[in-house]
Amino acid sequence: MKKFSNVLVRLLVLITFSLEAQDSLQQKISLKEITLDAVRIKTPKRIIPFAISHRRFEDDQLGLAQNSLQDYLTMVPGLYAQNTQNFAQDLRISIRGFGARSGFGIRGIQLIVDGIPETTPDGQGQLDNLPLGLIQSITVLRGPASSFYGNASGGVIQINTLEDFEENFVRLRLQGGSFSSRNLAATIGLNINKTKAVLYQNHSESEGYRNHSKYKQQVFNARVWHDLSESSQIRWQFNYTNSPYAYDAGGINIEMVNENQKQARPQNETYKTYETINHLKTGLQWEKQINDKLSWDSYAFYAHRDFVGRLPFGFGGFVDLKRDYYGLGTAMEYQPKKHHRMQLRFSLADQKDHRQRFKNLNGSSGENTLDQDELFFNTSLSFLDELKWNFGLLRLGLRYDYQRLSTQRERDEVQLNSLNPSLGFTYTQLGNNVMFISYSSSFETPTLNELSANPSANEGFNPNLSPSNAHNFELGWRFTTPQNKVEATIYAINTRNEILPYELADFPDRDFYRNAGFTARRGIELFWEHQMGSWEWMASYNYASIKFDNYVLGDKNLSGNQLPGVPEQQFTASLKYSFIGGWGTALQSQYSGNLYADDANQTMVEDYFLVNFRFWKSLEKISFFCGINNLLDKTYYDNIRINAYGKRYYEPAPMRNFYLGINLSL
């Protein structure tokens, strides 16, 4: 904390100086109002009574490496991302600690891509099929939001891909860099009469920084919009992802890190740990403005995922998973008066996993050890009410969810009911300042994968694993002028039955899960953005005290310990400048504080400070770009495996590395 005090003081001095520099002419400039639908009813961001972050990327896409979603999320306070280099485990994201338990992919956080859920009904999300090169904007709801999105909504990440264009275009991108990485992409945009379409094809591969960490992937994405009339539009999307291999180097202990941080865990090489994925998803949306007071919005989608994974142990270490899930939803919004809007929403989602485990015979499948169907069904009904006055805005929400979880064995069936309210108020009569206060809740069922990880080694679900729920209280302030945006939020969250991973000696590198009683989360989040001519400054900071409030494990009382896998402090700052003639440069620094690798808080992972640099040159039809990551060549960890057996917590991150490329517009 001491080493960071001077940085915070300087940040506050810069903010104060910048705010005072606003003259009367600048204050009269009308602000471009950003309207968001992350809280379901479209509302100007400035007066939303919940902690929310929003960024657009039209210009920034040019210099980004487009290898990981983390590049787009670095300025969101309270969000922590790991695992950018292990493509067999996928990016791990936590928001205020929600999602920190994930051994792979994203859990506890809802992912929405172009209006269609990317998170499965049981709460498992992945981003390996995301068309990174198309990202136009991202909105992050930083806190429990089950009254809006239901299960596994400790936070929400809403991603929107390219749609704001007027003329037809063809764009090609060629990129290469360290570790023999290659990224090739082609994008076609069509705008013909009442129909628009975007087609995107991407191919990426790399040998990886560590041994046994190479990957190859192809993503195809298509979106089509068609105006049926001035008041009605349909949208269709299709995504297909093929990843023939993504190798997993595994976690190693500190002695192996000091010996050679590039080495893979020997068992991972012996058992040939890697995954193969084929993923298909399609969705259809329809929006209609029925009259001045009534509008209708519906969606339906289907997804299929074929996954084969090899884990570094023999019994059950070869996994074959086939997943089918679909969903539909509809919302009716009624505006009886100009200042009053109501919304009634219904949704349904169904998921079926056919999970098989075999003995891993050095990368080949052996005798079958598990063969079961796992089902997860969800249906919900929610009501939202928004009242707006000249002095503020009031939001009320209530959602009911019914879940049914089962395997082919009747005794495994579980039925869960959950009722989640939300309440928020924003006071707007303070000039450029607004204040908000809110309450929201969330619930989170264990995923089917977590339930099937039965430590008894029997078929069926783990009967000792229960859902968790959280209650969130927020107090926030926003200040907005044409040149400055400043936000501050303090929060308090109480969680019951926190779900945490652990490993067993008989199944190293396989995650099992248990509940951890109660946790108490207290924190503050700060964000500042300043734009002046060709300059753009941004900074974000968060302090999070996330501790077990009541957690007894065996004969150990772990109450008061810090939740593992989440740093107490984070600070990120960026400086961007656009020169005359199409030149541009950006410098980004990131500080991540100490964190613990285990529930007992016996192993602390030291803090680190990173600097990344980007540079680009744009011409009429062609542009060049390059970047250097970890400019100061610092040693740090790309991922920490929580509670790993044998203290194999560490996945070392790359030292200084680079990328460069070219964009062509035809």
Per-residue pLDDT of 38-57, as tens digits, reads 999 999 999 999 999 999 98
CATH of the domain at 576: 2.40.170.20
Residue 21 has pLDDT above 60, yes or no: no
Decide: residue 299, CB within 10 A, 0-12 exposed, 13-18 middle, 19+ buried.
buried
Q: What is the pLDDT of residue 509?
A: 65
| Residues belonging to the chain | 666
Residue 555 has pLDDT above 90, yes or no: no
Q: What is the pLDDT of residue 20?
A: 43
Q: What is the pLDDT of residue 645?
A: 86
Residue type, 363: G
**How many Å apart are CA 477 and CA 479, to the nearest integer?**
7
User: pTM of this prediction?
Assistant: 0.93
Residue 365 has pLDDT above 90, yes or no: yes
**How many Å apart are CA 224 and CA 282, to the nearest integer?**
12
| Among 15-29, 48-62, 123-137, 518-532, the least confident range | 15-29
Q: Is 554 helix (H, G, I), strand (E, B) or coil?
A: coil
Identify the CA nearest to 301 among candidates 111, 167, 481: 111
> Look-up: residue for tokens 């990174």?
132
Q: Is 7 helix (H, G, I), strand (E, B) or coil?
A: helix
Segment 482-510 mean pLDDT: 86
Contact 248, 86 (CB under 8 A): yes
Residue 34 has pLDDT above 90, yes or no: no
Q: Is 17 helix (H, G, I), strand (E, B) or coil?
A: helix
**How many Å apart are CA 154 and CA 388, to the nearest integer?**
27
**DSSP at 60:** G
Q: Is the dihedral of CA 506, 512, 518, 521 positive or negative?
A: positive
Percent with pLDDT over 90 in the chain: 75
| Among 10-24, 137-151, 422-436, 595-609, the least confident range | 10-24
Residue 17 has pLDDT above 70, yes or no: no
Strand order in the sheet with 135-141: 52-56, 135-141, 156-161, 110-113, 116-117
Each residue's pLDDT tens digit, 597-643 = 999 999 999 999 999 999 999 988 999 999 999 999 999 999 999 98
Q: What is the pLDDT of residue 1?
A: 45
48 Cβ contact partners less than 8 Å away, ≥ 6 residues apart: 36, 39, 424, 426, 436
Please state the domain count of the chain.
Answer: 1
| pLDDT category of residue 393 using cuts at 50, 70 and 90 | very high
160 Cβ contact partners less than 8 Å away, ≥ 6 residues apart: 114, 135, 136, 137, 138, 139
Residue 2 has pLDDT above 80, yes or no: no
* Structure token digits, residue 189: 């945009």
**How many Å apart are CA 428 and CA 478, to the nearest integer?**
10
Q: What is the pLDDT of residue 9?
A: 41
**How many Å apart are CA 595 and CA 606, to the nearest integer?**
7
**How many Å apart are CA 198 and CA 222, to the nearest integer?**
6
Percent with pLDDT over 70 in the chain: 94
Each residue's pLDDT tens digit, 178-236 = 999 999 999 999 999 999 999 999 999 999 999 999 999 999 999 999 999 999 999 99
| pLDDT category of residue 130 using cuts at 50, 70 and 90 | very high
- The whole domain housing 624 covers 2-665
Segment 469-489 mean pLDDT: 96
CA distances for 61 relative to 160, 305, 464, angstroms: 13, 29, 46
Residue 18 has pLDDT above 60, yes or no: no
| pLDDT category of residue 453 using cuts at 50, 70 and 90 | confident
Chain-centroid distance, C-alpha 316: 30
Identify the CA nearest to 54 among candidates 527, 378, 550: 527
Residue type, 8: L
Pair type for strands 106-107 and 124-125? antiparallel
Residue 658 has pLDDT above 90, yes or no: yes
| pLDDT category of residue 60 using cuts at 50, 70 and 90 | low
Report which of residues 104 and 66 the model is more confident about.
66
Report which of residues 410 and 385 the model is more confident about.
385
* Structure token digits, residue 550: 């009541």
